[in-house]
Structure 1
Protein backbone atom coordinates (compact mmCIF):
# COMPACT_ATOMS: atom_id res chain seq x y z
CA UNK A 1 0.00 0.00 0.00
CA UNK A 2 1.18 3.53 -0.70
CA UNK A 3 2.22 5.88 2.09
CA UNK A 4 -0.49 8.30 0.95
CA UNK A 5 -3.19 5.65 1.34
CA UNK A 6 -1.92 4.60 4.79
CA UNK A 7 -1.77 8.20 5.99
CA UNK A 8 -5.27 8.94 4.68
CA UNK A 9 -6.57 5.77 6.32
CA UNK A 10 -5.04 6.83 9.66
CA UNK A 11 -6.60 10.30 9.42
CA UNK A 12 -9.98 8.80 8.52
CA UNK A 13 -9.87 6.50 11.56
CA UNK A 14 -9.06 9.42 13.84
CA UNK A 15 -11.81 11.65 12.41
CA UNK A 16 -14.76 10.25 14.45
CA UNK A 17 -12.77 10.58 17.69
CA UNK A 18 -11.73 14.17 17.05
CA UNK A 19 -15.10 15.15 15.59
CA UNK A 20 -17.00 13.61 18.48
CA UNK A 21 -14.92 15.34 21.13
CA UNK A 22 -15.08 18.68 19.30
CA UNK A 23 -18.85 18.37 19.00
CA UNK A 24 -19.30 17.49 22.67
CA UNK A 25 -16.93 20.28 23.65
CA UNK A 26 -18.82 22.77 21.52
CA UNK A 27 -22.11 21.87 23.19
CA UNK A 28 -20.49 22.09 26.63
CA UNK A 29 -18.96 25.54 26.16
CA UNK A 30 -22.11 26.86 24.51
CA UNK A 31 -24.12 25.76 27.53
CA UNK A 32 -21.85 27.40 30.10
CA UNK A 33 -23.76 29.93 32.21
CA UNK A 34 -22.71 33.57 32.16
CA UNK A 35 -21.43 33.41 35.74
CA UNK A 36 -18.61 31.01 34.78
CA UNK A 37 -15.47 33.13 34.92
CA UNK A 38 -13.67 31.50 31.98
CA UNK A 39 -16.66 31.16 29.67
CA UNK A 40 -15.38 33.64 27.05
CA UNK A 41 -11.86 32.19 27.19
CA UNK A 42 -13.09 28.61 26.80
CA UNK A 43 -15.22 29.58 23.81
CA UNK A 44 -12.19 31.20 22.16
CA UNK A 45 -10.17 28.05 22.75
CA UNK A 46 -12.90 25.86 21.30
CA UNK A 47 -13.01 27.99 18.14
CA UNK A 48 -9.23 27.68 17.77
CA UNK A 49 -9.50 23.89 18.19
CA UNK A 50 -12.30 23.78 15.62
CA UNK A 51 -9.98 25.38 13.05
CA UNK A 52 -6.77 23.58 14.04
CA UNK A 53 -8.16 20.03 14.17
CA UNK A 54 -9.26 19.84 10.50
CA UNK A 55 -5.95 21.38 9.40
CA UNK A 56 -3.98 18.81 11.41
CA UNK A 57 -6.02 15.83 10.20
CA UNK A 58 -6.24 17.17 6.65
CA UNK A 59 -2.47 17.36 6.33
CA UNK A 60 -2.20 13.59 6.75
CA UNK A 61 -4.87 12.92 4.13
CA UNK A 62 -2.24 13.69 1.46
CA UNK A 63 0.51 11.58 3.02
CA UNK A 64 4.07 12.58 3.86
CA UNK A 65 3.88 15.65 1.63
CA UNK A 66 1.05 16.97 3.79
CA UNK A 67 2.95 16.12 6.95
CA UNK A 68 5.94 18.06 5.59
CA UNK A 69 3.80 21.12 4.81
CA UNK A 70 2.26 20.95 8.29
CA UNK A 71 5.66 20.61 10.01
CA UNK A 72 7.24 23.40 7.95
CA UNK A 73 4.30 25.74 8.44
CA UNK A 74 4.20 25.21 12.18
CA UNK A 75 7.97 25.52 12.32
CA UNK A 76 8.19 28.85 10.50
CA UNK A 77 5.66 30.49 12.82
CA UNK A 78 7.07 28.88 15.97
CA UNK A 79 10.72 29.80 15.31
CA UNK A 80 9.70 33.38 14.56
CA UNK A 81 8.03 33.54 17.99
CA UNK A 82 10.98 31.83 19.65
CA UNK A 83 13.53 34.17 18.03
CA UNK A 84 11.69 37.12 19.56
CA UNK A 85 11.58 35.48 22.99
CA UNK A 86 15.28 34.57 22.84
CA UNK A 87 16.24 38.01 21.48
CA UNK A 88 18.17 36.51 18.59
CA UNK A 89 19.70 38.59 15.82
CA UNK A 90 18.63 38.54 12.20
CA UNK A 91 21.33 36.04 11.28
CA UNK A 92 20.21 33.50 13.85
CA UNK A 93 16.58 34.12 12.92
CA UNK A 94 17.41 33.36 9.29
CA UNK A 95 19.12 30.12 10.34
CA UNK A 96 16.09 29.03 12.35
CA UNK A 97 13.63 29.92 9.58
CA UNK A 98 15.68 28.02 7.01
CA UNK A 99 15.91 25.01 9.33
CA UNK A 100 12.17 25.09 9.95
CA UNK A 101 11.71 24.15 6.28
CA UNK A 102 14.94 22.26 5.59
CA UNK A 103 14.83 19.79 8.49
CA UNK A 104 11.31 18.47 7.75
CA UNK A 105 12.19 18.46 4.04
CA UNK A 106 15.24 16.30 4.76
CA UNK A 107 13.09 13.99 6.88
CA UNK A 108 10.69 13.66 3.95
CA UNK A 109 13.30 13.19 1.23
CA UNK A 110 15.84 11.11 3.15
CA UNK A 111 14.30 9.67 6.31
CA UNK A 112 17.32 7.45 6.95
CA UNK A 113 19.83 10.31 7.17
CA UNK A 114 22.66 9.53 9.58
CA UNK A 115 21.97 11.13 12.97
CA UNK A 116 25.59 12.15 13.55
CA UNK A 117 25.76 14.01 10.26
CA UNK A 118 22.51 15.77 11.03
CA UNK A 119 23.74 16.74 14.50
CA UNK A 120 26.95 18.14 13.03
CA UNK A 121 25.01 20.21 10.52
CA UNK A 122 22.76 21.63 13.23
CA UNK A 123 25.72 22.55 15.41
CA UNK A 124 27.42 24.28 12.51
CA UNK A 125 24.27 26.21 11.63
CA UNK A 126 23.84 27.32 15.24
CA UNK A 127 27.35 28.76 15.69
CA UNK A 128 28.22 30.08 12.24
CA UNK A 129 26.64 33.55 12.59
CA UNK A 130 28.26 34.37 15.93
CA UNK A 131 31.63 32.96 14.82
CA UNK A 132 31.69 34.84 11.52
CA UNK A 133 30.81 38.07 13.31
CA UNK A 134 33.47 37.46 15.96
CA UNK A 135 31.00 38.20 18.75
CA UNK A 136 33.00 37.73 21.95
CA UNK A 137 30.44 39.31 24.28
CA UNK A 138 27.17 37.54 23.51
CA UNK A 139 27.97 35.12 20.71
CA UNK A 140 28.13 32.03 22.91
CA UNK A 141 24.75 32.79 24.48
CA UNK A 142 23.11 33.41 21.10
CA UNK A 143 24.67 30.27 19.61
CA UNK A 144 23.38 28.16 22.52
CA UNK A 145 19.90 29.65 22.21
CA UNK A 146 19.95 29.02 18.47
CA UNK A 147 20.99 25.39 18.94
CA UNK A 148 18.28 24.94 21.55
CA UNK A 149 15.72 26.39 19.15
CA UNK A 150 16.87 24.14 16.32
CA UNK A 151 16.37 20.98 18.37
CA UNK A 152 13.24 22.17 20.17
CA UNK A 153 11.32 23.22 17.06
CA UNK A 154 12.51 22.05 13.60
CA UNK A 155 13.95 18.72 14.77
CA UNK A 156 10.90 17.99 16.91
CA UNK A 157 8.44 18.86 14.14
CA UNK A 158 10.34 16.60 11.74
CA UNK A 159 8.76 13.83 13.80
CA UNK A 160 5.47 14.54 12.05
CA UNK A 161 7.20 13.37 8.86
CA UNK A 162 9.50 10.65 10.26
CA UNK A 163 6.93 8.85 12.38
CA UNK A 164 4.37 6.67 10.65
CA UNK A 165 1.04 8.40 10.14
CA UNK A 166 -0.78 6.38 12.83
CA UNK A 167 1.77 7.33 15.48
CA UNK A 168 2.12 10.98 14.45
CA UNK A 169 -1.65 11.47 14.49
CA UNK A 170 -1.97 9.64 17.78
CA UNK A 171 0.69 11.83 19.38
CA UNK A 172 -0.95 15.03 18.15
CA UNK A 173 -4.41 13.98 19.32
CA UNK A 174 -3.17 12.64 22.67
CA UNK A 175 -1.24 15.82 23.42
CA UNK A 176 -4.32 17.93 22.66
CA UNK A 177 -6.50 15.74 24.88
CA UNK A 178 -3.80 15.80 27.54
CA UNK A 179 -3.80 19.60 27.63
CA UNK A 180 -7.54 19.59 28.23
CA UNK A 181 -7.23 16.80 30.78
CA UNK A 182 -4.54 18.73 32.65
CA UNK A 183 -6.80 21.77 32.90
CA UNK A 184 -9.76 19.67 34.06
CA UNK A 185 -7.63 17.75 36.58
CA UNK A 186 -6.10 20.91 37.96
CA UNK A 187 -9.50 22.56 38.29
CA UNK A 188 -11.21 19.58 39.90
CA UNK A 189 -8.43 18.14 42.09
CA UNK A 190 -5.81 20.85 42.43
CA UNK A 191 -7.33 23.14 45.05
CA UNK A 192 -6.07 21.38 48.19
CA UNK A 193 -4.22 18.30 49.33
CA UNK A 194 -1.05 16.67 47.97
CA UNK A 195 -2.19 16.95 44.36
CA UNK A 196 -2.35 20.73 44.72
CA UNK A 197 1.44 20.96 44.97
CA UNK A 198 2.97 22.81 42.00
CA UNK A 199 5.20 20.88 39.62
CA UNK A 200 7.82 23.61 39.41
CA UNK A 201 8.35 27.24 40.47
CA UNK A 202 8.49 27.96 36.73
CA UNK A 203 4.72 27.59 36.59
CA UNK A 204 3.05 27.58 40.03
CA UNK A 205 -0.44 27.03 38.58
CA UNK A 206 0.55 23.68 37.06
CA UNK A 207 -0.01 21.03 39.72
CA UNK A 208 0.21 17.27 40.18
CA UNK A 209 -3.55 17.21 39.83
CA UNK A 210 -3.03 18.41 36.28
CA UNK A 211 -0.63 15.53 35.65
CA UNK A 212 -3.28 13.07 36.86
CA UNK A 213 -5.82 14.61 34.51
CA UNK A 214 -3.35 14.59 31.63
CA UNK A 215 -2.43 10.96 32.30
CA UNK A 216 -6.05 9.85 32.10
CA UNK A 217 -6.81 11.95 29.01
CA UNK A 218 -3.74 10.86 27.04
CA UNK A 219 -4.38 7.21 27.84
CA UNK A 220 -7.99 7.57 26.72
CA UNK A 221 -7.01 9.36 23.52
CA UNK A 222 -4.41 6.77 22.54
CA UNK A 223 -6.85 3.95 23.25
CA UNK A 224 -9.60 5.68 21.25
CA UNK A 225 -7.41 5.85 18.12
CA UNK A 226 -6.12 2.30 18.64
CA UNK A 227 -2.52 3.26 19.41
CA UNK A 228 -2.17 2.72 23.14
CA UNK A 229 1.07 1.24 24.44
CA UNK A 230 2.82 1.87 27.74
CA UNK A 231 5.90 3.27 26.01
CA UNK A 232 3.96 5.65 23.75
CA UNK A 233 1.72 6.76 26.61
CA UNK A 234 4.72 7.43 28.86
CA UNK A 235 6.55 9.41 26.16
CA UNK A 236 3.50 11.51 25.31
CA UNK A 237 2.64 12.19 28.96
CA UNK A 238 6.22 13.08 29.93
CA UNK A 239 6.62 15.20 26.80
CA UNK A 240 3.39 17.06 27.44
CA UNK A 241 4.27 17.92 31.03
CA UNK A 242 7.91 18.77 30.32
CA UNK A 243 7.10 20.74 27.16
CA UNK A 244 4.77 23.05 29.04
CA UNK A 245 7.42 23.74 31.67
CA UNK A 246 10.16 24.27 29.08
CA UNK A 247 8.15 27.00 27.39
CA UNK A 248 7.38 28.54 30.78
CA UNK A 249 11.13 28.68 31.43
CA UNK A 250 11.78 30.42 28.10
CA UNK A 251 8.95 32.91 28.63
CA UNK A 252 9.96 33.71 32.21
CA UNK A 253 13.48 34.59 31.14
CA UNK A 254 12.03 36.69 28.32
CA UNK A 255 9.68 38.39 30.79
CA UNK A 256 6.48 37.71 28.84
CA UNK A 257 3.24 35.87 29.60
CA UNK A 258 2.57 34.49 26.11
CA UNK A 259 4.69 33.79 23.04
CA UNK A 260 2.27 35.79 20.88
CA UNK A 261 -1.19 37.29 20.82
CA UNK A 262 -2.70 36.21 17.50
CA UNK A 263 -4.14 32.77 18.43
CA UNK A 264 -7.49 33.21 20.23
CA UNK A 265 -7.55 31.59 23.66
CA UNK A 266 -3.91 30.56 23.62
CA UNK A 267 -1.64 33.50 22.80
CA UNK A 268 0.91 32.35 20.26
CA UNK A 269 1.56 29.13 18.39
CA UNK A 270 4.31 28.09 20.80
CA UNK A 271 1.78 28.34 23.62
CA UNK A 272 -0.31 25.74 21.77
CA UNK A 273 2.37 23.32 20.53
CA UNK A 274 4.92 23.45 23.38
CA UNK A 275 3.80 20.03 24.66
CA UNK A 276 3.67 18.55 21.17
CA UNK A 277 7.28 19.50 20.47
CA UNK A 278 8.78 17.64 23.42
CA UNK A 279 6.35 14.74 23.05
CA UNK A 280 7.46 14.21 19.45
CA UNK A 281 11.12 14.29 20.51
CA UNK A 282 10.57 11.70 23.26
CA UNK A 283 8.51 9.44 21.00
CA UNK A 284 11.35 9.49 18.45
CA UNK A 285 13.89 8.75 21.18
CA UNK A 286 11.73 5.83 22.32
CA UNK A 287 11.70 4.54 18.74
CA UNK A 288 7.91 4.18 18.55
CA UNK A 289 6.50 4.42 15.03
CA UNK A 290 9.89 4.93 13.39
Structure 2
Protein backbone atom coordinates (compact mmCIF):
# COMPACT_ATOMS: atom_id res chain seq x y z
CA UNK A 1 0.00 0.00 0.00
CA UNK A 2 1.12 3.54 -0.75
CA UNK A 3 0.07 5.40 2.40
CA UNK A 4 1.51 8.82 3.14
CA UNK A 5 -0.17 9.58 6.47
CA UNK A 6 -1.76 7.36 9.10
CA UNK A 7 -4.18 8.89 11.64
CA UNK A 8 -4.61 6.71 14.71
CA UNK A 9 -7.94 7.23 16.50
CA UNK A 10 -8.41 3.82 18.15
CA UNK A 11 -8.28 4.62 21.85
CA UNK A 12 -8.23 4.41 24.72
CA UNK A 13 -4.55 5.37 24.62
CA UNK A 14 -4.02 5.02 28.36
CA UNK A 15 -1.91 1.85 28.67
CA UNK A 16 -1.56 1.39 24.90
CA UNK A 17 1.85 0.72 23.34
CA UNK A 18 3.43 2.29 20.25
CA UNK A 19 2.97 -0.65 17.87
CA UNK A 20 0.86 1.40 15.43
CA UNK A 21 3.38 4.24 15.39
CA UNK A 22 6.26 1.81 14.93
CA UNK A 23 4.47 0.17 11.99
CA UNK A 24 4.01 3.60 10.39
CA UNK A 25 7.69 4.40 10.85
CA UNK A 26 8.72 1.08 9.29
CA UNK A 27 6.46 1.88 6.31
CA UNK A 28 8.00 5.38 6.07
CA UNK A 29 4.57 6.84 6.67
CA UNK A 30 3.76 9.96 8.67
CA UNK A 31 1.81 9.23 11.86
CA UNK A 32 -0.70 11.37 13.77
CA UNK A 33 -2.83 10.29 16.74
CA UNK A 34 -5.63 11.83 18.79
CA UNK A 35 -4.25 10.54 22.09
CA UNK A 36 -4.84 12.38 25.35
CA UNK A 37 -3.18 9.80 27.61
CA UNK A 38 -0.50 11.51 29.67
CA UNK A 39 2.19 8.84 29.47
CA UNK A 40 1.39 7.86 25.88
CA UNK A 41 1.79 11.41 24.54
CA UNK A 42 4.62 12.28 26.91
CA UNK A 43 6.63 9.23 25.92
CA UNK A 44 6.27 9.49 22.14
CA UNK A 45 9.75 11.00 21.86
CA UNK A 46 11.13 7.52 22.61
CA UNK A 47 10.48 6.90 18.90
CA UNK A 48 12.38 10.01 17.82
CA UNK A 49 15.54 8.29 16.58
CA UNK A 50 13.68 5.77 14.42
CA UNK A 51 11.32 8.45 13.06
CA UNK A 52 14.30 10.64 12.12
CA UNK A 53 16.00 7.70 10.44
CA UNK A 54 12.89 7.13 8.32
CA UNK A 55 12.40 10.83 7.63
CA UNK A 56 8.81 10.90 8.90
CA UNK A 57 6.82 12.96 11.39
CA UNK A 58 5.34 11.06 14.35
CA UNK A 59 2.92 13.36 16.16
CA UNK A 60 0.99 12.39 19.28
CA UNK A 61 -1.73 14.36 21.06
CA UNK A 62 -3.33 15.97 18.00
CA UNK A 63 -6.44 16.68 20.01
CA UNK A 64 -7.99 19.31 22.27
CA UNK A 65 -5.07 18.64 24.61
CA UNK A 66 -2.24 19.33 24.12
CA UNK A 67 -2.61 20.54 20.51
CA UNK A 68 -5.33 23.18 20.99
CA UNK A 69 -4.50 24.05 24.60
CA UNK A 70 -0.84 24.73 23.78
CA UNK A 71 -1.81 26.73 20.68
CA UNK A 72 -3.94 28.97 22.90
CA UNK A 73 -1.08 29.49 25.36
CA UNK A 74 1.33 30.23 22.51
CA UNK A 75 -1.11 32.77 21.04
CA UNK A 76 -1.11 34.90 24.20
CA UNK A 77 2.33 34.11 25.63
CA UNK A 78 3.91 37.24 24.16
CA UNK A 79 1.62 39.44 26.26
CA UNK A 80 3.20 38.11 29.46
CA UNK A 81 6.54 39.10 30.90
CA UNK A 82 6.08 36.15 33.23
CA UNK A 83 3.44 33.45 32.94
CA UNK A 84 2.70 31.97 36.37
CA UNK A 85 -0.24 29.59 35.95
CA UNK A 86 -2.25 27.75 33.33
CA UNK A 87 -5.70 26.40 34.14
CA UNK A 88 -7.56 24.36 31.52
CA UNK A 89 -11.08 22.95 31.64
CA UNK A 90 -13.54 21.16 29.37
CA UNK A 91 -17.25 20.55 29.92
CA UNK A 92 -19.07 18.29 27.50
CA UNK A 93 -22.49 18.76 25.97
CA UNK A 94 -25.21 16.13 26.03
CA UNK A 95 -23.65 13.91 23.37
CA UNK A 96 -21.60 11.33 25.22
CA UNK A 97 -18.07 10.54 24.05
CA UNK A 98 -17.37 7.09 22.67
CA UNK A 99 -16.95 4.13 24.99
CA UNK A 100 -13.17 4.05 24.44
CA UNK A 101 -12.92 7.66 25.61
CA UNK A 102 -15.06 6.95 28.66
CA UNK A 103 -12.90 3.93 29.55
CA UNK A 104 -9.81 6.08 29.22
CA UNK A 105 -11.00 8.88 31.47
CA UNK A 106 -12.45 6.45 34.02
CA UNK A 107 -9.14 4.55 34.24
CA UNK A 108 -7.67 7.07 36.70
CA UNK A 109 -10.86 7.92 38.62
CA UNK A 110 -10.04 8.19 42.32
CA UNK A 111 -6.38 7.45 41.65
CA UNK A 112 -3.47 9.84 42.27
CA UNK A 113 -1.46 11.58 39.59
CA UNK A 114 1.17 14.28 39.79
CA UNK A 115 0.27 17.91 39.24
CA UNK A 116 2.37 21.07 39.54
CA UNK A 117 0.79 23.40 42.10
CA UNK A 118 2.50 26.56 43.36
CA UNK A 119 5.90 25.28 42.26
CA UNK A 120 5.63 21.85 43.91
CA UNK A 121 4.61 18.49 42.50
CA UNK A 122 1.64 17.20 44.47
CA UNK A 123 -0.96 14.45 44.13
CA UNK A 124 -4.30 15.21 42.53
CA UNK A 125 -7.01 12.55 42.28
CA UNK A 126 -8.99 11.67 39.18
CA UNK A 127 -12.45 13.27 39.08
CA UNK A 128 -12.09 14.72 42.57
CA UNK A 129 -11.25 18.31 43.62
CA UNK A 130 -14.86 19.20 42.78
CA UNK A 131 -15.48 22.83 41.85
CA UNK A 132 -17.99 24.99 40.02
CA UNK A 133 -16.86 26.94 36.96
CA UNK A 134 -18.83 29.72 35.31
CA UNK A 135 -18.61 29.54 31.53
CA UNK A 136 -19.89 32.43 29.41
CA UNK A 137 -23.50 32.14 28.35
CA UNK A 138 -25.16 30.08 27.01
CA UNK A 139 -23.28 27.46 29.11
CA UNK A 140 -23.35 29.01 32.57
CA UNK A 141 -22.14 27.09 35.62
CA UNK A 142 -20.74 23.56 35.32
CA UNK A 143 -19.21 21.08 37.76
CA UNK A 144 -15.58 20.11 37.06
CA UNK A 145 -13.16 17.57 38.50
CA UNK A 146 -9.43 16.92 38.12
CA UNK A 147 -8.25 14.78 35.20
CA UNK A 148 -4.86 13.42 34.13
CA UNK A 149 -3.71 14.72 30.72
CA UNK A 150 -0.39 15.25 28.88
CA UNK A 151 -0.38 19.01 29.55
CA UNK A 152 0.31 18.42 33.24
CA UNK A 153 3.66 16.87 32.30
CA UNK A 154 4.50 18.82 29.15
CA UNK A 155 3.57 22.41 29.99
CA UNK A 156 6.01 22.91 32.90
CA UNK A 157 8.79 22.01 30.45
CA UNK A 158 7.47 24.11 27.58
CA UNK A 159 6.67 27.16 29.74
CA UNK A 160 9.41 27.14 32.40
CA UNK A 161 8.19 30.15 34.42
CA UNK A 162 4.89 28.44 35.18
CA UNK A 163 4.36 27.34 38.78
CA UNK A 164 0.86 25.84 38.42
CA UNK A 165 -0.74 23.75 35.68
CA UNK A 166 -4.19 22.26 36.22
CA UNK A 167 -6.83 20.54 34.15
CA UNK A 168 -10.42 19.74 35.04
CA UNK A 169 -13.30 18.30 33.08
CA UNK A 170 -17.00 17.80 33.59
CA UNK A 171 -20.32 16.81 32.11
CA UNK A 172 -23.36 18.79 31.00
CA UNK A 173 -25.54 16.89 33.48
CA UNK A 174 -25.00 17.95 37.10
CA UNK A 175 -26.37 14.62 38.29
CA UNK A 176 -24.13 12.68 35.91
CA UNK A 177 -21.05 14.56 37.06
CA UNK A 178 -21.86 14.02 40.73
CA UNK A 179 -22.31 10.28 40.10
CA UNK A 180 -18.81 10.13 38.58
CA UNK A 181 -17.44 12.19 41.49
CA UNK A 182 -19.05 9.78 43.98
CA UNK A 183 -17.56 6.73 42.24
CA UNK A 184 -14.13 8.38 42.30
CA UNK A 185 -14.47 9.02 46.04
CA UNK A 186 -15.32 5.34 46.58
CA UNK A 187 -12.23 4.31 44.62
CA UNK A 188 -10.01 6.66 46.62
CA UNK A 189 -11.49 5.28 49.85
CA UNK A 190 -10.68 1.71 48.75
CA UNK A 191 -14.34 0.65 48.60
CA UNK A 192 -14.28 0.18 44.82
CA UNK A 193 -11.31 -1.32 42.93
CA UNK A 194 -11.81 1.08 40.02
CA UNK A 195 -14.37 2.83 37.84
CA UNK A 196 -13.83 0.78 34.67
CA UNK A 197 -16.82 -1.50 35.25
CA UNK A 198 -19.13 1.52 35.20
CA UNK A 199 -17.93 2.89 31.86
CA UNK A 200 -20.33 0.94 29.64
CA UNK A 201 -23.55 1.29 31.71
CA UNK A 202 -23.00 5.00 32.36
CA UNK A 203 -22.17 5.58 28.70
CA UNK A 204 -25.47 3.92 27.74
CA UNK A 205 -27.44 5.92 30.29
CA UNK A 206 -25.90 9.16 29.05
CA UNK A 207 -27.02 8.34 25.51
CA UNK A 208 -30.58 7.68 26.70
CA UNK A 209 -30.54 11.01 28.58
CA UNK A 210 -29.15 13.00 25.63
CA UNK A 211 -32.51 14.53 24.54
CA UNK A 212 -33.05 16.21 27.92
CA UNK A 213 -29.46 17.42 28.57
CA UNK A 214 -27.90 20.63 27.27
CA UNK A 215 -26.39 20.29 23.79
CA UNK A 216 -23.77 22.91 24.65
CA UNK A 217 -20.20 22.29 25.75
CA UNK A 218 -17.10 24.39 26.26
CA UNK A 219 -13.37 24.58 26.83
CA UNK A 220 -11.40 27.28 28.60
CA UNK A 221 -7.74 28.15 29.05
CA UNK A 222 -6.99 30.68 31.78
CA UNK A 223 -3.56 32.31 31.95
CA UNK A 224 -2.31 34.28 34.95
CA UNK A 225 0.93 36.18 35.36
CA UNK A 226 2.56 39.57 34.91
CA UNK A 227 2.26 41.72 31.82
CA UNK A 228 4.96 43.78 30.17
CA UNK A 229 4.33 46.57 32.69
CA UNK A 230 4.67 44.09 35.60
CA UNK A 231 0.99 44.56 36.45
CA UNK A 232 -1.09 41.40 37.06
CA UNK A 233 -2.45 40.02 33.79
CA UNK A 234 -5.24 37.47 33.45
CA UNK A 235 -6.52 36.13 30.13
CA UNK A 236 -9.32 33.58 29.79
CA UNK A 237 -9.96 32.07 26.36
CA UNK A 238 -13.18 30.08 25.93
CA UNK A 239 -14.49 27.94 23.10
CA UNK A 240 -18.25 27.31 23.09
CA UNK A 241 -19.76 24.46 21.05
CA UNK A 242 -23.50 24.23 20.46
CA UNK A 243 -25.80 21.65 18.82
CA UNK A 244 -23.67 18.79 20.20
CA UNK A 245 -20.73 19.76 17.99
CA UNK A 246 -18.22 19.53 20.83
CA UNK A 247 -17.15 15.89 20.22
CA UNK A 248 -15.93 16.90 16.74
CA UNK A 249 -13.45 19.49 18.03
CA UNK A 250 -10.56 17.09 18.84
CA UNK A 251 -10.47 16.10 15.15
CA UNK A 252 -9.36 19.57 14.05
CA UNK A 253 -5.66 19.04 14.63
CA UNK A 254 -5.40 15.76 12.72
CA UNK A 255 -7.30 17.19 9.76
CA UNK A 256 -5.15 20.33 9.72
CA UNK A 257 -1.91 18.32 9.94
CA UNK A 258 -3.00 15.88 7.23
CA UNK A 259 -3.83 18.81 4.95
CA UNK A 260 -0.42 20.33 5.60
CA UNK A 261 1.33 17.08 4.72
CA UNK A 262 -0.82 16.61 1.60
CA UNK A 263 -0.01 20.15 0.44
CA UNK A 264 3.71 19.44 0.64
CA UNK A 265 4.37 21.48 3.78
CA UNK A 266 7.45 20.29 5.64
CA UNK A 267 6.61 19.25 9.18
CA UNK A 268 9.53 18.49 11.52
CA UNK A 269 10.84 14.96 11.19
CA UNK A 270 11.01 12.95 14.38
CA UNK A 271 8.59 11.96 17.14
CA UNK A 272 6.97 14.67 19.24
CA UNK A 273 3.86 15.76 21.13
CA UNK A 274 1.56 18.00 19.08
CA UNK A 275 2.73 21.38 20.35
CA UNK A 276 3.96 24.31 18.30
CA UNK A 277 2.80 22.73 15.05
CA UNK A 278 -0.54 24.53 14.67
CA UNK A 279 -1.98 27.92 15.52
CA UNK A 280 -5.46 28.22 17.01
CA UNK A 281 -6.70 29.40 13.63
CA UNK A 282 -5.19 26.41 11.84
CA UNK A 283 -6.71 24.01 14.39
CA UNK A 284 -10.20 25.50 14.07
CA UNK A 285 -10.27 26.09 10.30
CA UNK A 286 -11.33 22.49 9.42
CA UNK A 287 -14.21 22.94 11.89
CA UNK A 288 -15.51 26.16 10.36
CA UNK A 289 -18.91 24.66 9.52
CA UNK A 290 -19.54 23.64 13.12
CA UNK A 291 -21.48 25.78 15.60
CA UNK A 292 -18.47 26.85 17.66
CA UNK A 293 -17.26 30.28 18.75
CA UNK A 294 -14.38 31.83 20.68
CA UNK A 295 -14.49 34.45 23.42
CA UNK A 296 -11.60 36.13 25.25
CA UNK A 297 -11.85 37.90 28.59
Q: So what's the TM-score if we normalise by structure 1?
A: 0.29
Q: So what's the TM-score if we normalise by structure 2?
A: 0.28
Identify which of structures 1 and 2 has the higher relative contact order when contacts are C-alpha pairs closer than 8 Å and 6+ apart: 2
